[in-house]
């Protein structure tokens, strides 16, 4: 696929006898939301970790923006434009909301080794941070200490920090987790527009959101991708119904 910005080629990773990723190949094209779904333990987190750089695959490669990034660590991949959000909010809890966003903007700009000059008075950084907070609707909480945010607000801040990175690709690990119906709907609407800025690889349990948003869906079961296709194709796929959707219906 030539227009893929991010792709994995036959990624395999095992932990002892457990095959967490079994020759996983998927790609993310410009302007799309590609959802990755699968039952618990299917290896979604392991796959995300290999794409983001936290885990090294046993074999296979990760191609990002035309470059083989497999040997690169997380930091280098982030600098190349891989903007990720975490399943469990990873924020500087003692910082204010604004400081967290400014940290993102600083990461995007680089030059973080400057020891003089007030970072919270830096117009360019503040502008980027404030506009990201505005977009996710956290502006009024800019001076709140992050530890005092609600769970849902932390999820929003995760997304805001990713926005400040102005990435080429968003890698979102369950951004809706624990958001509640209303928050989930709002974020769905937001991500819908975001795909035109940068494509999104979306790992998500919220099936309403996935089927409403995704241009394509890949289904991961026991480390293998058993199907990739549009929402309708996935709904109609017998193997998927049996392996995944069926289980959920029964539950």
Where along the sequence are the contacts to another protein (CB under 8 A)?
Answer: 52, 54, 73-75, 78-79, 83-84, 86, 90-96, 98-100, 102-104, 106-108, 110-120, 122, 125, 142-143, 145, 161, 164-165
| CB of 16 or CB of 110, closer to another protein | 110
Contact 215, 229 (CB under 8 A): no
Strands of the 18-29 sheet, one edge to the other: 18-29, 4-15, 59-64, 67-68
For residues 146 and 94, the answer to whether their CB atoms sit within 8 Å is yes
C-beta of 84: minimal distance to another protein in Å? Answer: 5
Give the nearer residue to another protein in terms of CB position, either 115 or 238. Answer: 115
Cα–Cα dist 130/139, whole Å: 7
Of 170 and 244, nearer to another protein (C-beta) is 170
User: Look-up: residue for tokens 């400040």?
Assistant: 164
Residue 218 beta carbon to another protein: minimum distance, rounded to whole angstroms? 23
- In this complex, which beta carbon is closest to another protein, that of residue 79 or of residue 151? 79
Contact 160, 128 (CB under 8 A): no
Nearer to another protein, 104 or 183 (CB): 104
- Comparing CB distances to another protein, the nearer of 161 and 214 is 161
CB of 141 to another protein, least distance (A): 11
**Cβ(194)–Cβ(171) below 8 Å:** no
Please report, for the chain, how many H helices and E strands are present, in that order: 10, 10
Q: How far is the CB of 153 from another protein (least distance, A)?
A: 16
- The CB-of-175 to another protein minimum distance in angstroms stands at 14
Q: How far is the CB of 118 from another protein (least distance, A)?
A: 5
Distance CA(172)–CA(52), nearest Å, equals 10
How far apart are the C-alpha atoms of 42 and 21, rounded to whole Å?
9
């Amino acid at each position: 696929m030539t227009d893929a910005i991010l792709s994995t080629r036959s990624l395999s990773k095992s932990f002892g006898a457990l095959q967490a990723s079994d020759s996983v190949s998927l790609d993310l094209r410009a302007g799309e939301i590609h959802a990755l779904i699968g039952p618990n333990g299917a290896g979604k987190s392991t796959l995300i970790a290999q794409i983001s750089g936290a885990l090294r695959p046993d074999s296979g490669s990760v191609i990002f923006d035309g470059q083989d990034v497999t040997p690169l660590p997380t930091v280098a991949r982030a600098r190349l434009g891989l903007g990720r959000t975490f399943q469990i909010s990873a924020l500087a809890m003692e910082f204010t909301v604004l400081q967290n966003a400014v940290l993102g903007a600083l990461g995007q700009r680089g030059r973080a080794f400057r020891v003089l000059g007030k970072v919270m008075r830096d117009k360019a950084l503040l502008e980027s941070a404030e506009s990201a907070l505005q977009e996710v609707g956290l502006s009024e909480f800019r001076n709140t200490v992050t530890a005092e945010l609600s769970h849902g607000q932390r999820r929003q801040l995760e997304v805001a920090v990713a926005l400040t990175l102005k990435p080429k690709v968003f890698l979102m690990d369950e951004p809706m987790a624990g958001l509640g119906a209303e928050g989930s709907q709002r974020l769905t609407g937001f991500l819908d527009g975001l795909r035109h800025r940068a494509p999104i690889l979306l790992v998500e349990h919220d099936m309403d959101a996935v089927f409403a948003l995704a241009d394509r869906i890949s289904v991961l079961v026991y480390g293998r991708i058993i199907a990739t296709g549009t929402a309708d194709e996935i709904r109609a796929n017998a193997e998927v119904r049996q392996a995944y959707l069926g289980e959920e219906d029964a539950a």
